[in-house]
Structure 1
Amino acid sequence: MIRYKVYQSKNKASSSYGLWYARAVYDETVGLEKLAEHMANHNTPYSQGCIFGVLRDMVNCIKELVLDGKAVKLDNLAIFSASISTSGAASAKEFSITNCLRNVHLNARATGKLRTATLTSEATKKEVAEYTVNKTGKSDGGDTME
């Protein structure tokens, strides 16, 4: 179930000012260990520890392959690849990746069963509470988006 909160745009500089939108929220972040436990509870002959080890190794291998310039596709999940952001140089001759590299980013493009169209058509939705922002500028406790 996709949980969401409704909020009103307060950005006066935007054409969306005053309009109402929904923002997805989640109540928990599940790490590899909890994912392994969840998977082990699905009638598998593999233990939580075995699954956790495979997942941990998979993460390390995906990182290694992505940093080697490969795209890694996990069917029905995502294609992982790297992209870069750089600052500009006045000419190609003046461009140096050493001086112009800002960041290396990890991209994850959904595939198969996790494609946007599939998720949109299959998701059930539920409004959880009104979206508010406290005096510090952070969302209230019910919205755990990071």
Structure 2
Amino acid sequence: MIKYILKKNNVEGSHSFGKWYAFPVKESTVDIDKLAEHMAAHNTPYSAGAIKGIITDMVSCIKELLLEGRSVKLPDLAIFSIGIKNTRGGAVKEEEFTVAANIDGLKLRARATGSLQMKDLETSLRRATVVEAKKKQPVTSPKE
């Protein structure tokens, strides 16, 4: 079940100003240990420890390939690639461009592949009434 909250677009001048949109509620984050335990519980002959080792090696290899300038595609999930964080403003002339002055760092990009399909959206999505924010006041979605 995917929970969602509604948010109103308050960006003046936007073509969607004043309209309401659904956003998914992220319940929690699962780390490699929990992912391995979850996978091991799916009738596999591999232990959570073996699966964790494979996932850990996969992460390391994906990073290595990305830093070699390659993209990595995991079908029905995402294509991972490297992006560059440029500084604001950029160089006025090509000759003035330097890595130190014009690049802030790298970022990981993930472009979705495949699709998440549910047979019946009405029963697979549910509006959240209250969402607990970490170390903040509870966020409530507006009344319909």
Report the TM-score range of the alignment, normalised by the length of the smaller protein: 0.7 to 0.9
The one-letter code matched in structure 2 to 1:119 is: L
Confirm or deny: 8 A CA contact 2:131 2:138 kept in the other structure.
yes
The DSSP-based 3-state class of the residue aligned with 1:93 is: helix
TM-score normalised to the size of structure 2? 0.78
Q: Which runs of 5+ in 1 are unaligned?
A: none
Matches within 5 A, 1:89-128: 89-111=91-113, 115=114, 118-119=115-116, 122=119, 124-128=124-128
Residue-by-residue CA offset, 1:45-75 (whole Å, 9 max, x unaligned): 1000000111011111111111121111122
In 2, Cα distance between equivalents of 1:27 and 1:131: 9
Equivalent residue for 1:63?
A: 63
Which residue of structure 1 aligns with residue 138 of structure 2?
Answer: 140
Name the structure 2 match of 1:22. Answer: 22
Which shows bigger deviation, 39-48 or 94-103? 94-103
Cα drift, residue 132 of structure 1:
9.6
1:78–1:139 CA distance, 2 compared to 1 (3 A): farther
Which position in structure 1 is the counterpart of 2:40?
40
Q: Which has the higher contact order (CA 8 A, sep 6+)?
A: 1
1:27 is displaced (CA, Å) by 1.4
Q: Kindly state the Cα deviation for residue 28 of structure 1 after the two structures are TM-superposed.
A: 1.5
SS at match of 2:95: coil
1:4-19 matches, within 5 Å, as: 4-9=4-9, 11=10, 13-15=12-14, 16-19=16-19
Q: In the alignment, residue 101 of structure 1 is paired with which amino acid?
A: I
Structure 1 position 108, deviation (Å): 0.7
Indicate how the Cα distance of structure 1 residues 102 and 27 shifts in structure 2: closer, same or farther if over 3 A, else same.
same
Report the CA distance between 1:139 and its aligned residue. 6.5
CA distance in 1, matches of 2:139, 2:21: 19
Which 5+ residue runs of structure 2 have no aligned equivalent? Answer: none
Displaced runs of 4 or more, over 4 A: 120-123, 130-133
**Count of matched residue positions in the alignment of Structure 1 and Structure 2:** 134
In 2, distance between residues paired with 1:27 and 1:142?
15
What is the RMSD of the two structures over their aligned residues, measured on CA atoms? 2.7
